[in-house]
Structure 1
């Protein structure tokens, strides 16, 4: 019987690029399944990222400490991939931390295994390139949104794009993600409801 974590992980990969079964079998040999309790860190700021992380179940956020204030940069739900990419690629300390916002089940693939699979399989290397392109486009879209939209517009876009995010994320984290104070978010929420 194939574990649920594997089925879910392969479904996400298949959306990007369908790997042959023998490559999926090889990849699965390198998978590590971990559980994290709410509020624990999957990666601390200044720790080196050594894994690609797939969130099987739960909710996680990436954030950065700036002048003793936590600034939320990203959130991921079940079925998403989140890794501190700058640290993963450079193998230098991560400028961000990744934290469980609820109990999580996470599947990790070590960087050494990913690189070995890149060398071994052209198809796996292609998957890696396509995923990198996806994450790059997503980041650019976020930067454009921050630079060219008001806080209210960013909130409305977020409501349309990811209604689960708005419902599940604590207000203080959501406000910092939008780049506004909690009070401003409360005003925007009451205005948008009208």
Structure 2
């Protein structure tokens, strides 16, 4: 991972509620969060549905747009002031052209795929309590970095249900 971060020659800061990526745009950058936090969400009519979060020492990316170089429906918005290192697709492509670097990239993509699959299974199969407990076990830092209303949305439950689960 350090090898990917080291590719960055650009750092940006986005303020609270500012968008890094908007619905329908193309974004072929990978971002490493130095500080702050972001949410990745989609719009469903007028509703927003959080699908991922990023905070200090996480990578965030609009993966579909990054891979296809096409517009994506994903939005990335700062939850609080966030400092990000920017790694361009060209920088990654050049890095991958070097011997043995593709193995690291495959590991990163495999990790993203496994995380996404775990989330999908949670949403389809588990009760709200089970979803809460699995996320708490998998990502305890999430509850220190992300406001409860965003976590509740991510877990597909009301803020009141999340509050009850946290108390029990």
Does TM, normalized by the shorter one, top 0.5?
yes
Higher strand share: 2
Aligned: 1:43 with 2:43: no
Counterparts in 2 of 1:1-194, with a 5 A limit? 13-14=1-2, 28=7, 30-119=8-97, 121-190=98-167, 192=168
Provide Cα deviations, 1:57-78, integer angstroms capped at 9, x if missing partner: 1111101111201111111110
- Kept in 2, the 8 Å contact 1:52–1:83? The answer is yes
- Kept in 1, the 8 Å contact 2:55–2:145? The answer is no
Structure 1 window deviating more from structure 2 (163-172 vs 102-111): it is: 163-172
Higher helix share: 1
How has the CA–CA distance of structure 1 residues 168 and 116 changed in structure 2, closer, same or farther, with 3 Å as cutoff?
closer
Provide Cα deviations, 1:15-66, integer angstroms capped at 9, x if missing partner: xxxx5xxxx79x53x5211111111111112111110111111111101111
- Kept in 1, the 8 Å contact 2:14–2:20? The answer is yes
Off by >3 Å, runs of 4+ in structure 1? none
- Kept in 2, the 8 Å contact 1:39–1:100? The answer is yes
Structure 1 window deviating more from structure 2 (157-166 vs 35-44): it is: 157-166
Unaligned residue ranges in structure 2 (runs of 5+): none
Q: How many residues align?
A: 168
The SS at the match of 1:100 is strand
The SS at the match of 1:144 is helix
The SS at the match of 2:25 is coil
The SS at the match of 1:102 is strand
Unaligned residue ranges in structure 1 (runs of 5+): 1-12
TM-score if structure 2 supplies the norm length? 0.91
Distance, in Å, in 1 between the alignment partners of 2:72 and 2:10 is 21
